[in-house]
């Protein structure tokens, strides 16, 4: 099923031995457009900290209860490497995080997640038990991939052939693969606006510095796209209609 990233905000994270905190945003990679981490705020009223938790450690997501259960202990998370979530996260920082949890890295295989398309497929690789068992030559620490915050990309301008057509207001992701399938784009005026969906794979260029996403389409094509409503599920029929309207391959193909 497809879900809104925005709906994950303030989900409670439950470790094997207690409550950890609440989800504040997500980080996705800038190549595969897949959510790689939840940013979880931990601590009490006067001392808060933010940590990263990968979907590979998620046991269950309860959407009705707004809770996520992970197979980590509170101590494991508290002792994880410090990462500044205010800036893009590098591959080197990810390596240190996976070493801490003694887990195989998700980019070591041929799939979206290790050897397959789902977070649990990471563990099809041999799980190491010591830091030294993760060979540096196999983890591509110098990869140019950086992780981007969904909270920061919210508000990016979307530019078509005749200039700005709207702004990113949310993301739609596949809850099984955690791949981002669509950007939710708000178009129109403040008084009279509506939302449409665009696949990030349809983008010609993304300028991270200028916070702009460029698409090779006429503005009217986007403005006339089927309206997206949060209360209505994005099902296969809707996606086919969307791809037909844009005259582009469906986002999952």
Map out the domains of the chain as residue ranges.
2-148, 154-246
Within 13 A of 164's CA, how many CA atoms are on the CB side? 12
Residue 130 is predicted with a pLDDT of 43
Chain position carrying tokens 């590098």 = 90
In CATH, the architecture of 2-148 is: Roll (2.30)
Mean pLDDT of the chain: 87
pLDDT tens profile 29-60 = 988 999 999 999 987 656 678 899 999 999 99
What's the pLDDT band for 129 if we cut at 50, 70, 90?
very low
Residue 253 is predicted with a pLDDT of 52
pLDDT tens profile 64-92 = 999 999 999 999 998 888 877 777 788 88
- Distance between CA atoms of 101 and 210, rounded to whole angstroms? 35
CATH class of residue range 154-246: alpha beta
What's the pLDDT band for 132 if we cut at 50, 70, 90?
very low
Residue 136 is predicted with a pLDDT of 40
83-to-50, 64, 152 alpha-carbon distances in Å:
8, 31, 16
């Amino acid at each position: 099923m497809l879900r809104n990233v925005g709906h994950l905000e303030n989900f409670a994270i439950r470790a094997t031995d207690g409550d950890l905190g609440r989800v504040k945003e997500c980080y996705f990679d800038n190549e595969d457009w897949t959510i790689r981490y939840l940013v979880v705020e931990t601590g009490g009223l006067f001392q808060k900290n933010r940590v990263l938790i990968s979907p590979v450690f998620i046991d269950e997501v309860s959407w009705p209860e707004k809770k996520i259960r992970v197979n980590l202990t509170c101590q494991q998370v508290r002792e994880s490497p410090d990462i500044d979530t205010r800036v893009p996260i590098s591959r080197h920082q990810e390596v240190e995080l996976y070493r801490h949890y003694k887990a195989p890295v998700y980019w070591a295989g041929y799939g979206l997640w290790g050897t397959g398309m789902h977070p649990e497929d990471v563990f099809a690789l041999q799980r190491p038990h010591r830091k030294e068992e993760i060979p540096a030559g196999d983890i591509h620490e110098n990869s140019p991939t950086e992780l981007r915050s969904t909270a920061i990309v919210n508000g990016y301008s979307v530019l078509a052939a005749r200039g700005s057509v709207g702004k990113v207001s949310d993301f739609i992701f596949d809850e099984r693969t955690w791949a981002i399938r669509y950007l939710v784009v708000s178009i129109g005026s403040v008084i009279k606006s509506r939302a449409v969906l665009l696949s990030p794979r349809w983008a010609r260029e993304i300028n991270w510095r200028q916070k702009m996403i460029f698409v090779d389409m006429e503005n009217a094509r986007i403005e006339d796209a089927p309206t997206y409503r949060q209360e209505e599920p994005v099902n296969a029929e809707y996606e086919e209609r969307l791809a037909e309207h844009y005259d582009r391959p469906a986002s999952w193909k």
